[in-house]
Structures are given as C-alpha cells and as structure tokens.
Chains A and B, each alone.
Chain A
Amino acid sequence: MTQAFRIENGGLINRDKKLSFKFNEKSYFGYEGDTLASALLANGVHLVGRSFKYHRPRGFFGAGVDEPYAVVQLYRNGETEPNIKATEQELFEGLEAKSVNCWPSVNFDIGAINNFLKIFLPAGFYYKTFMWPKSFWYRIYEPFIRKAAGLGVASTKHDKERYEHKYEYCDLLIAGSGPSGLAGAYAAAKNGAKVILAEDKPRFGGSLLTSDVNIGNQSGKDWAEGIIAELKTMPNVVVKNRSQIFGYYDHNMLVMSEKVSDHLPSTKKYHPNKRLWYIRAKEVLISSGSIERPIVFGNNDTPGVMLSSAAKEYLKVYGVLVGRKPLVFTNNDSGYETAIEFKKHGVDPVILDSRKNAESEIIDEAKNLGIIIKNSYVVVAAQGYKKVKSADIASISEDKKQLGKIEHIQCDCICVSGFWTPSIHLASQSGNKTKFKEEIDAFVPGQSKQNEITLGAANGIFSLNETLKTSFKAGSELSKKLTKKDNEIAIPNVVEKKSSQHDKFWCVPLPKGKNYKRFLDFQNDVAVSDVEIALREGYRSIEHVKRYTTLGMATDQGKTSNLNGLQLVSEIENKVVPAVGHTTFRPPYTPVSIGAIVGREVGKHSKPTRKSPMHSWHEKNNAVFVDAGVWLRPRYYKRGNENLFEGSKREAKNVRTNVGVCDVTTLGKIDIKGPDAAELLNRVYTNAWLKLPVGKARYGVMLREDGIVMDDGTTTRISENHYHMTTTTAQAANVLSHLEYYLQLVWPELNVNVVSTTEQWAGAAIAGPKSRDLLQKLFPNSDVSNEGLPFMGYMEGDLFGVKARIFRISFSGELAYEVNVESDYGNFMWEKIMEIGEEFQIQPYGTEALSTLRIEMGHVAGSELDGRTIPYDNALEGLVSKKKDFIGKRSLQRSAFTTEDRQRVVGVVPLDKKTSIPEGSHLVKDDKAPLPNPKLGHISASCWSVEYDNPFSLAILKDGKNMIGEKLFAMSPLKNKVIPVEIVSSHYVDPKGERVRS
C-alpha cells in the first residue's frame, strides 16, 4: 500500500513502523513520527473541518502551534479530548479523530447555509440581532448559537488520567530549541549554569530541520542533533521536548506544559498524562522563533491554501507533498525556498512574486532549477470549494492598487508567504515594552522588564549567522554572571544563502465586480469586510475592534492573523502600525488542558483530609462522617436502619439520661507560655484573665478590631506561666495567626510564645449525668468529686499509665468533662472510655447530637458567630469587661452596635410543635405582606429538642430582647414553607445552668 502524496524517500519519519488510524470513521495509515496532519495529507485528505461561523470547508494552514483550521476531536484509550490541533498531535497506533463543528458530516454540513447567508452575519451580528425579544435569548437564541458555533465537545466523564505539577529552579530557562535556543543553551551549559531547554515539538532544532544551511561543515539538522546529544549528557542541563512554555509571570516564573503521554496510544502505568512545570528562572532566553504570515486574497481559506513554510515542513520533515501542482505566492524569498524543495522532488511549482524584481542567491537558485517565476503577480482568488482547483491570478501595478487582466491557472495548492512575524508573546507577557521594526513590518521586543532576552527570529533577526553569534554571546555572558566561569566557545562557521528585501505587501485588492471573502482570522471567520464594518461603526481602539469582530480571539489566538489585522486597521485609519498598537498578549500561548492546570488536586485530593487518632474506631463502629473544614468528623453512629434524624436523637437523648462520648480532637489547641501570657489573654479576650488561678479554665470570647466576634473557647491555666487555649475547629488557624500578629507586630514587648498543639492532643468529651461516675472509674486515684474537680476546674490524671489532662467544661450543658491525652494514646483512651462506660450505658455521639445538645441549651456556635455578630447579639455581653481594654472594644461603641432594637439571639418554637424550621428561614411579622417582606431575623440553627420532643431553633432577631413571647412566621421560600412560630428564650433547657455545676 502506498500513499499518494508521500515521497519515496526522505523526511524524518520512521518508515519501518506503520501506524493505522481513523479519521471520521475511515481507516488510514501513517508512520511513526507523523503528526495527524502530515498523515492525513500523505493520504490526500485536505478537508478536516468547518469554520466557526460560516461553516466553510477547512483544511490545513500551518504545521504547528499556529494552525487555525485543523482542530479535531480526539479519541484515545476510551477518552475524548476536544479541540486538538492535528498539526501538533503525534500519530499513534489506533488514533481516532473526528472533525468538529459540522453536522451531519464534514462533507455535507447543514450549517454551511450560513455561508450563503453571510451577508447577514457580519461583525457584531449577534449583538445586533439576538437582542429582542429579551426572553428569547435563553430559550431560543443562545442554545441555537451554542450548537451552531463552537468547536469540539468536552467529555462529561471523570478524567482517569493523572496530571502532575513540578516546581523547578534554574539559572537559565531557554524557550525554544531552534538555532538561537541551542546556541544560548550550549554556551550557558558550558559555563556550568543550570539550564532548562524547552521545545514544544517532538523534534529539537526548530527551523534547522527544514532550512538548507551549513553550520561548522554539517547540515543544520546534524549540527542541532550534535548539540542536543551533548546537552543531554551534561548533569547541569534539562532538555525537554513536547514541552510548551505558555506563560511568563511575575518574578521570572514561567509555566510549561509537558505532554508526557499524548503521543502514546495510552498512558503508561504510573506516568502522568501531562506535567505542569512552574519554573523560577534567574534569566530567561526567549528563542521562540517566528511564524510566517499569510498574504490576504480572495477565498484564501479554501483547503489547499497554506503557509509556504508549512508546505516545506511537510516535505522535509514528513516526506509529504501537499500538492502536485503547487502555486507559490510570496512577497519575499521564503516562498522560493519552498519552491526549490518541490522542484528537488520532481514537482514543478509556479512562483508568483509580488515584487517587480528581486535578486538574491536563493532566487538565482530557483531560476537555475528552471522554476517558472512571475514577478509583479498576485493571487486574486482561490477557486474550488472543498479543495483548491485553480487560481485567478493577475499582474499588479507598482502601487499595488491596480490589478491586470485576470488569468486562470490550474493548481492543487497555494503556498503563501507574506514574510515573518516574530513570536513576541512571552516577552510581552513578561512586561517587555515591544516596538515596531519597520524593516520587517512587525513588532519585536524592546525594553525588558524582567530578566529576559529575546534571541534570533523572535527578535526579528532572520540571518542564521547573526542569530548564532548573538545567541552564543547572550548564553555565555548571562551564565558567566551567575557561575563566574568563562569557557569560551568557538562560534562555528555558517553557510547560508543571502536573501533579498521583502515586499511590504499583505493584501490583494478585490477585482472590479467581485466580492470575494478575504479572511484575516481563519478560525473565527473574520474577513477584511468585518474589520471595515467595525471601523465604520466607530470602533477605534484595536482592543475594541478585536472584541467586536472576534479577530484573534480563537484558540490559535491570532498567531497568523493579528498583524494583518493591524495592517488593515492602520491602512483604513491612515495611521502607522505602531500608532494602532497591538492587543495584549496574555497567557497561555497555546491552549492548556484544564487537567494539567488542576494537577493532582482533584476529588479527595482537592484539599487535605484530617482525621483524628480515633478515626478507625469510628469507621469500625458505623460512623457516618461529615466534613468539618478539612476534618472528617462522625456525624452519627448508625445503628441498624436508623437515619440521621433518628440516630442523632438517640445519641443526644442518651447524653441527657446516661452518658455519651464525643471526639473533640478537632478543636483548635494553642499552647501559650511566658511571663506575659495572662496579659496577652487579657488583651485578646473580652473578659478578665489576670486573676484566673492555676488549675482553672475560663470561657472567653475574642473579637476582631471591628467589634465582630471572631471566636470563642476555653483557656486553662496549666501552671503559673502556661496556658492551654482551645478554639473552634474552623477558626484554629486564624486564631493562631491573630495571636502571632499581635505578639510580633503590635505588642512585641510581651514575652509570650504561642504554638499550635491541635495535632498533639486527642480529646474526648464525656457528657451526661453519669459522666462523673465514669470518670471516677477511669481515674480511680484522682478525686473527681464536685469538690475535688469543680465546674471549670482542671487536673492532671493517670489513665491506666497514660498521662491525661482533665477539664471540667461542657458544651452540651450537661455535667461534662473533656479528657485529653497525647495523640498516640487517643485510641487507647477512647477504647477505655467505651469499655468502662458500658455499665453506664455509654454511647458515642456525633456532631449532629452535639449540635442538638448545644442548640437547646442556647449555647452559640459557628452559625451564630458568623462574622456578622457582636457579643450582645449572642447574649454574651456579660463577658465584656467594662474595666479593661481589649481588641475590638472601641468598635463596640459604634452607633449601629448600641441601638435599642439591636439584634439578639432568641429561641424559636413552631406553634404546632411538629414542623421543623429550615435553617436560613427568615422571620417576618406578616406572612402575607407584599414583597419585599421586611425581614426581622433569620433562623441560625435548628434541632429536634430531645428534652421536650419538639422542634427548636435559634435565631438572630431584631430587638430580640423584647420579642420573647411574640408570634411570628418563619418563611423559607427555598423549601416553600411558612411556619407560624413563637419566640422564646434561647436557653430552652436548664436556663439556670444547674446541670453543669451538679
């Protein structure tokens, strides 16, 4: 089996290894080293998709990152990925791909009717047309446009691939392995600098792979291979292919996406699909080369019209002829190089050169080979629908305004070269102030902002000799600064053909009576006429023209269209190009998989999971877990077919009647030591702390400087200068930072140290009327009687040989204790409590029962301390000292905080004593009032009171103090509920607090 457009020999592909693949359900084969694009072209397939707006047939335009057309849906190993450029996708055995943006098929596309309606689809069409009636937008217009436009379809399945992130530091990062990148990297590496050389293609060498040059008596390609081979042996060098540096960020951090597995049929075990590198480089050499730009002419989007450099690359790298009757349309010598390559392979091209006369070594070579050259000639329009069949050509006047008589020429491809555009994206992203270089009609980097230097073609230097000289010098000098070594390198002798000046010509005028579409942006279907409309309608700034016409906004980000767009705007506006300026270059330079950006932080790994030392016990005992920040806490321990409501009710009830045990390890714990520790607490908490005796705990509330409650908890004086602070689970990290802030910045004179000990202690809350009996059995040698260990008392105890801290504190409102042991003994402690507690009918209880217990006791927690409430709102004003100053005290004088009808926590009971009130419900006076119904307060927490066996809620209510006994409505539009309620005291159970002291 042979391939119609593959030459017999030549190219860098491996002809010993055939690979079969499918495109649009049809089977083909290619070779190892092919891209999907080169393999399709070898098989004569030019039609690969439909354009974005008009659904015009699309072929191949480039051979790399600049490709605007050949965007496909890729199928690999049971997965699919949209919007893959066929010019970048390496072929592998079994590859499958489909065209995007066409229905029912690429050959017969119904959307192509837009092409005939195109008079109705000019720039701004969507803005103008789909505005009325407003209600049609969501229901009709948007779904239709979304289906008709757009490219591939993202998979909705979970991505099984793995993506990794890597952080790297280096002396020199070199972006691109063309001649300038190789020279810079080599010189720096020889000076011992730590170098990373990145190449986005599979093959190193850049333009050296296709150019006809000699370096040091070798072909350019051989020289590149030699340099790469040597770099790979050097321990201070990392050489990466398939790796695109796509973003240049602050402080010389660059991000690179390495395609580790995309070229393989499936990802190897333990390998990532892609690896994202965050590279902090001391110096950056940008050697990203240049991209050929098209000349604009009629129907220049017809499949078969492509960049002349791409045609040369397909021939020299892949051994593929993009046509057998090529027409080369050029304004510079690059087109001649492509024509010469065709001729060498037995194909007769015709060159149309817009220049009247041009002389150079390259042109002489073409002439000597007998290639037909027509000077002062241009392509007026390509003819053919799904493939170029012929071209209308004409001579052009010297001022490039008048066309001669239209002639017809048969051809099967048109290779176009409008000179070269340096890839200044990375330099511009770094903050470099770019400048316009007249000689090449393009922008080049100017003043560097960060430590970056742009080399070679990316800097507008198109002579190989000069590129090598300047790049060796840059690599050598920058590395010398860093390594203090200077290994001089002899710059190799370069043989290259001299080229002549290009023609400043980029757009062929329309012939009289013809209205050919002349495209600027090939992926977004932006034609010359669209930009003209935008300017006519008053869009002046190039940024506005871009957004109105979508010029340069497609997935190729205008790599082949931006400059021609600027030329057009400058021409119409009668300005020079630098006065028009260019649009902002933003990362990423090429599309990056979301998976690569996310990395390993998916699913369970999206955040760390913290587990208490007793976690496995909970698991074994049917705990149903709930996320509490990053902690996993038992919500309830399921028995039989119990649901959450039943289970938590049973557990809470058992605490009220017998004894329960709850894992409170997750509470934040901060160890505070130093002679000024009491003074610190006194300033941080709202209440007084200077007189707390050793062996006593105290409840405290801390505020932010704006008077809002930040956190609450108990702090215990362990010894003279040693305190143990607890915080809520959620605020633990913030409280530590808060204390550090004041100690380090505001009151550095205080001699105090703070450190988090959350991980060091395992905690168990033992609560219920029988908790003292249980405690006595756990600590038979300690006096835990009401006198020995009174409420808010503290002692150390011996738990069967394990040192324990015992606090008599209560969150549940029952007689209760908290026992802490070192984390490693947590499970031991828990099992002892369960074992000995058996005779007291102990049951473990989870967060749901814990909530029930605290809510019906009226103890405020996170849902009331929600970052919007002050102590008064939480009925905590008794803890606010009038005598001393503390953080946030001054803010409590603000008028809004001192009004008579200030909001305050209350209890809420449904009148029917049956209907649970959804959390978040609003309290209103009149359920029938017109909207917006004035809101008096909101339900902050709800439970089923186990004490009274009816629903009970806490609410933050306006003028709550005077509302006890009032009848209101709790309304939840979300749950569609209106519940008549009565306002009661928040202290629903044991309002005098006798149980905790019993």
Chain B
Amino acid sequence: MLYINCPHCGMRSQNEFSYGGDASVKRPELNKEVSNQEWDNFVYNRKSLRGKHLELWQHISGCRQWIKVERDTATHEIFRTFKADEEVA
C-alpha cells in the first residue's frame, strides 16, 4: 500500500485516496472550436508510461482535495506531491 504525502494533511495511506489519472491532461477551454483529434486526445488517449508519471489523486477520505503526485509507475516510488493549484516545475 502506497504512503502518500498529502500536501494538506501529511503522510497518509493509499486507502484514503482515490486515483484520478494523468495530471498532465488539460481540458480544452469552454466555447472553443476543438478538432476531433484534440478532443479524442483529451477524452481517451493516454500514455501508459513506465517510469515517472504525474498523476492526480483525491484525498477522498481526508481533506477531499485533489492533489498531484509524481510517482514511478514501475517502482511505485513517490518523488513529490503538489497541491492542485501548484505549478509543477
């Protein structure tokens, strides 16, 4: 079970969180023309990365905040975590 550092609450076990997928996906702006390809990429197409991956988790049984977690998908190592509005450098 992973041990995730919630930027709001501190170290918590994985079973307090729910997974939210790739954090690098950006929703196209509202009321903007979007090509089929662009929309498909947003809704469906995801890379199944091996290695460092920035992903979303929600601290669903805690502060209910969505957070970003930088995790290695092969080793499960967690490098850094960020608040939802924090820029990932």
Interface residues of A (CB under 8 A from B): 167, 249-253, 278, 280, 431, 449, 683, 705-706, 737, 740-741, 744-746, 748, 884-885, 890-891
Contact = CB atoms under 8 A, between A and B. Distances in A.
Given A252-B3, A740-B58, A741-B20, A705 B43 contact: yes
B43 A745 contact: no
Contacts of A253: 1, 3, 13
Given A745-B84, A746-B27, 20 more contacts: A249-B1, A250-B1, A250-B2, A251-B2, A251-B76, A252-B3, A253-B1, A449-B75, A705-B27, A706-B43, A737-B18, A737-B60, A740-B58, A740-B64, A741-B20, A744-B65, A748-B85, A885-B31, A890-B28, A890-B39
A803 B17 CA distance: 37
A737 B85 contact: no
B1 A745 contact: no
A79 B2 CA distance: 37
A249 B75 CA distance: 11
B9 interface: no
Nearest to A889: B30
Given A253-B3, A737-B58, A745 B66 contact: yes
A409 B77 CA distance: 59
Nearest to A167: B13
A987 to B, nearest CB: 33
B66 A280 contact: no
Nearest to B68: A745
A167 B65 CA distance: 24
14 contacts: A250-B2, A250-B3, A251-B76, A253-B1, A278-B1, A705-B42, A706-B43, A706-B44, A740-B58, A740-B66, A741-B66, A748-B85, A890-B34, A890-B39
Nearest to B60: A737
Contacts of A280: 3, 13
B60 to A, nearest CB: 7
Contacts of A891: 39, 43
Nearest to B33: A890
Given A251-B1, A251-B76, A278-B1, A744 B84 contact: yes
Nearest to B23: A745
Given A683-B30, A891-B43, A251 B3 contact: yes
Interface in B17-49: 18, 20, 27-28, 30-31, 34, 39, 42-44
B54 interface: no
Contacts of A250: 1-3, 76
Contacts of B66: 740-741, 744-745
A885 B58 contact: no
A741 B59 CA distance: 11
Classify the secondary structure of B's interface with A: loop
A683 B58 CA distance: 21
B75 A431 contact: yes
A624 to B, nearest CB: 33
Interface string B1-14: 11100000000010
B69 interface: no
A705 B21 CA distance: 14
Contacts of A741: 20, 58, 66
Chain A to chain B: the 6 pairs with minimum beta-carbon distance, closest first = A251-B3, A885-B30, A744-B84, A885-B31, A744-B66, A250-B76
A746 B27 CA distance: 7
A706 B56 CA distance: 19
A278 B34 CA distance: 48
Contacts of B31: 884-885
A278 B3 CA distance: 12
Contacts of A885: 30-31
A401 to B, nearest CB: 46
Contacts of B3: 250-253, 280
Contacts of B2: 250-251
Given A250-B2, A278-B1, A891-B39, A745 B56 contact: yes
A316 to B, nearest CB: 40
Contacts of B1: 249-251, 253, 278
A592 B31 CA distance: 57
A884 B31 CA distance: 7
Contacts of B18: 737
B78 to A, nearest CB: 8
Interface in B46-84: 56, 58, 60, 64-66, 75-76, 78, 84
A451 to B, nearest CB: 12
Contacts of A705: 27, 42-43
A685 to B, nearest CB: 14
B40 to A, nearest CB: 9
Contacts of A167: 13
A167 B1 CA distance: 12
B13, B65, B85 interface centre (most CB from chain A within 10 Å): B13
Contacts of B78: 251
Nearest to B85: A748
Contact of B84 (A449, A706, A737, A748): A748
B65 to A, nearest CB: 7
A280 B2 CA distance: 10
Nearest to A886: B30
A706 B43 CA distance: 6
Contacts of B30: 683, 885
Most chain B CB neighbours (cut-off 10 Å) among A167, A251, A740, A884: A251
A741 B75 CA distance: 27
A431 B56 CA distance: 25
A255 to B, nearest CB: 9
A885 B28 CA distance: 11
Contacts of B84: 744-745, 748
A781 to B, nearest CB: 39
Nearest to B35: A890
Nearest to A733: B60
Residue picked from B27, B44, B78, most chain A C-beta under 10 Å: B27
A840 B72 CA distance: 66
B68 to A, nearest CB: 9
Nearest to A252: B3
Nearest to A754: B64
A718 B65 CA distance: 26
B45 to A, nearest CB: 12
Contacts of A683: 30
Contacts of B56: 745
A745 B18 CA distance: 15
A413 B20 CA distance: 62
A706 B13 CA distance: 31
Nearest to A748: B85
Contacts of B13: 167, 253, 280
Nearest to B20: A741
Contacts of A251: 1-3, 76, 78
Contacts of A746: 27
Contacts of A431: 75
A138 B27 CA distance: 52
A449 B74 CA distance: 13
Nearest to B42: A705
B6 to A, nearest CB: 13
Contacts of A884: 31
B18 to A, nearest CB: 7
Contacts of A740: 58, 64, 66
A253 B1 CA distance: 7
A419 to B, nearest CB: 34
A264 to B, nearest CB: 31
Nearest to B31: A885
Contacts of B42: 705
A744 B64 CA distance: 10
B2 to A, nearest CB: 5
Contacts of B75: 431, 449
B71 to A, nearest CB: 10
